[in-house]
Amino acid sequence: MVKNKKSFFVGSPYYIWMIIFIVVPMLMVAYYSFTDIDGNFTLENIKNLSEYADTFVLSIFLGAVATLICLIIAYPLAFMISRSKASTQKMMIMLVMLPMWMNLLLRTYSWMTIIEDTGIINSLLSKIGIGPFHMINTAGAVVLGMVYNFLPYMILPLYSAMTKIDKNVLEAAEDLGANMFQRVFKVIFPLSVPGVVSGITMVFVPSVSTFYISQKLGGTGYTLIGDVIDTQFLNSGRNMGATLSLVLMVLILLCMLLMNQFASNEEEAMLV
Amino acid sequence: MRGISKAYMVLVMVFLYAPIAVLIFFSFNAGNSTSVFTGFSLQWYKELFQDEETLSALYNTLVVALLSSGISTVLGTAAAVGINKLNKWMKNVVMNITNLPMMNPDIVTGISMMLLFVFAGSILGSDDVLGFGTLLIAHITFNLPYVILSVLPKLRQLDSHLVEAAEDLGCPANKTFFKVVLPNIMSGVITGFMMAFTLSIDDFVISYFVSGPSFQTLPLRIYSMTKRVVRPSINALSTLIFVSILVLLIVINVLQAKDEKKAERRRRAAK
């Protein structure tokens, strides 16, 4: 008993920190959502949410498209890396991680200089007499920014799930006459589901909630939920901003719960 | 098949590195355009090194990163030791709360902390609470889960008989921790510290909401630089950041390879 007390004591500074700086701030978001600027209880913010329905739909749609594209690009890549020599694997994973350490703002800014109306692509094209093409401030540009910035977050979990797939299992499938498609869909994919699930959440969450990428690459036409929250707080619309954050948080936690449910069902199915 | 897979890997790498190459290339531009190259020059590097706001932002970033990762490493390691001993139910509760800042979008974490600080400020009757202190608290908070999650598995792997043996031999609890437990979980502690440090240096979204106008870190400085008409000095900054990351990675890799070789030699000598 004495021993347990002591170890509780060791952790207690963190428990206090956790309550003050994780739990209480969450309650603060809820508190500001249900009050007006003078601190009186109100449901006005919740009622006003319908004004932002389109923004939510657009954010979720663009985030989902970006996540899907990341999955399509990353899946074969992760598989190829996981099947190459140990030294190549190490090298490739380094190369995938390196851009992640460049600040997101700089990576996004770089795309801005590339696809602007007077940007690098258009100035190169004009030399051979084509263009100019309008690329920036489109939905495609926003999705491009999301895919580029968050692609490594998809590749890494997929890769780590795939390195765990035993080579013998693939050989056994081949020996037993499974063709390439059967091997991909009946063996590799089911075994890589945990990686797919964590990859999807790691790309979808920052994509849906981004505000810098959409500001820089989407202009004023593609305002996402993150931009709205940002402007609410800049213009002292603190309570509405808190409400939107609350909804965003609940939406994302629900998505993750659903994904995890799906993943554990899949694992159980594998055991049967 | 092999050829296709190699070509595909190269293609994705080109996609990942082309924008970085572009940034570096135009940092040497003589003109002030970030898309039309007019000649070689180092003027943007010169401008960058004379820009005091950027230099002080860099200094602030390093101070906050070192302090926050140091504090969160100590606090997080102690927390992991405590959490490891909790019963299953309590452990579940604590870990679910610990995971919250990692699962929540950064913007929500940032806003929730800002609301807390502003609320606390309004109780204390102060209008500008946001600054170095709140930024440091926020960084410690989002670093903590990563430290805890990298230390906990090491504690679970630790043979509990070792600790019991030390206690049976009359070793006081403090000494047992520093002489027996800590050396065995050190790799997890170091990983946690490094993750915390890099996360802190890189963070923009949370810092944006909790730092206020008086205190600027490098990502916040970059944000305000890209808000106005951009000058290639930001390309020069990107180049310097990229080169320092690259050098750091290479150094870490070389050191690791050396360690592995040493371990290999020792293993052979033991045989």
φ and ψ of B29, to 5 deg: -75, 135
- The pLDDT value given to residue A1: 37
User: What pLDDT shows up at residue B63?
Assistant: 96
How far does the CA of residue A270 sit from the closest CA of chain B (Å)? 26
Residues of chain A with C-beta less than 8 angstroms from the C-beta of B236: none
Quote the crossing angle between the two packed helices A189-209 and A53-82, to the nearest 10°. 140
A45-80 pLDDT tens trace: 888 899 999 999 999 999 999 999 999 999 999 999
Instruction: Please name the fold of domain A55-271.
Output: MetI-like fold (1.10.3720)
Instruction: Assess contact for B216 and B60: CB atoms under 8 A.
Output: yes
Do residues A95 and A81 touch, judged by C-beta distance below 8 A? no
What confidence tier does B138 reach under pLDDT thresholds 50, 70, 90? very high
Is B81's CB within 8 Å of A96's CB? no
- Interface ipTM above 0.85: yes
Q: Is the pLDDT of residue B62 over 90?
A: yes
Q: pLDDT category, A120, cuts 50, 70, 90?
A: confident
Percent of chain B past pLDDT 90, that is, above it, reads 57
The answer to whether the Cβ–Cβ distance between B253 and A94 falls below 8 Å is: yes
Please determine, for residue A83, whether its predicted confidence score (pLDDT) is greater than 60.
yes
At B15-60, the pLDDT tens digits run 999 999 999 999 998 888 777 888 888 989 998 999 899 999 999 9
Is A270 an 8 Å CB contact of chain B?
Answer: no
- Whether B215 shows a pLDDT value over 50: the answer reads yes
**Would you call B141 and A7 a contact, using CB atoms and an 8 Å cutoff?**
no
Write down the mean pLDDT value for chain B: 90
Q: Which residues contact A217 (CB under 8 A, 6 or more apart)?
A: A108, A111, A112, A115, A136, A137, A141, A142, A144, A145
**Residues A252, B100: C-beta atoms closer than 8 Å:** no
Which has the higher per-residue pLDDT, B144 or A126?
A: B144
Residue B75 and residue A106: Cβ atoms within 8 Å?
no
B104 → closest Cβ in A21, A118, A249: A249
Residues 6+ away with beta carbon under 8 Å from A40 = none
What pLDDT sits at residue B34? 79
H-only helix segments in chain A: 2-18, 24-33, 44-48, 53-82, 86-97, 104-115, 120-127, 139-163, 167-175, 180-182, 189-209, 212-218, 225-234, 238-271
The fold of the B53-231 domain, in CATH, is MetI-like fold (1.10.3720)
Q: What average pLDDT score do residues B211-216 get?
A: 88
Question: Residue B50: enclosing H or E segment and its boundaries?
Answer: helix B43-50
Contact A117, A136 (CB under 8 A): yes
* Binary contact (A205, B12; C-beta < 8 A): no
pLDDT of B125 strictly over 90: no
Q: Sorting pLDDT into bands at 50, 70 and 90, what band is A4?
A: low
Q: Tens digit of pLDDT for each residue in B219-269? A: 999 998 888 777 788 889 999 999 998 998 888 888 888 888 888 888 888
Type of residue at A71? L
Are the CB atoms for B19 and A114 separated by under 8 Å? yes
Mean pLDDT value across chain A = 88
Q: Do B19 and A110 touch (CB under 8 A)?
A: yes
Interface mutation target, options A97, A105, A229, chain B, most CBs of B under 10 Å: A105
Distance CA A92, CA B212 (A): 40
Asked if A21 lies within 8 A of B226 by C-beta distance, the reply is no
Give B-chain residues touching A92 at CB under 8 angstroms: 9
Phi, psi dihedral angles at A34 (to 5 degrees): -105, 15
| CA A137 from centre of chain | 21
What pLDDT, on the 0 to 100 scale, is given for residue A6?
A: 65
> Is the Cβ of B116 closer than 8 Å to some Cβ of chain A?
yes
Whether a cis peptide bond, with omega within 30° of 0, leads into A13 is: no
User: Over the range A213-236, which residues count as b (16 or more CB within 10 Å of their CB) and which as e?
Assistant: bbbbbbeeebbbbbbbbbebbeee
> What confidence tier does B212 reach under pLDDT thresholds 50, 70, 90?
confident
Q: Answer for the pair A252, A208: CB distance below 8 angstroms, yes or no.
A: yes
pLDDT at A5: 61
Q: What is the CA radius of gyration of chain B?
A: 24
**DSSP readout, A128-151?**
TT------TTSHHHHHHHHHHHHH
- Helix and strand tally (H, E) in chain B? 12, 0
| Segment B70-110, tens digit of pLDDT | 999 999 999 999 999 888 999 999 999 999 998 899 999 99
* A132/A118 Cα distance (integer angstroms): 8
Chain A, nearest residue to B75 by Cα: A14
Q: Band of the pLDDT at A205, cuts 50, 70, 90?
A: very high
Q: Where along chain A do its domains lie?
A: 1-33, 55-271
**Out of A32-36, A236-240, B125-129, B135-139, least confident range:** B125-129
Q: pLDDT confidence of A272, banded at 50, 70, 90?
A: very low
Q: Report the pLDDT value the prediction gives residue B253, as an integer from 0 to 100.
A: 83
pLDDT tens digits for range A217-246: 988 889 999 999 999 988 878 899 999 999
Task: Establish if A226 touches chain B: CB-CB under 8 angstroms.
Answer: yes
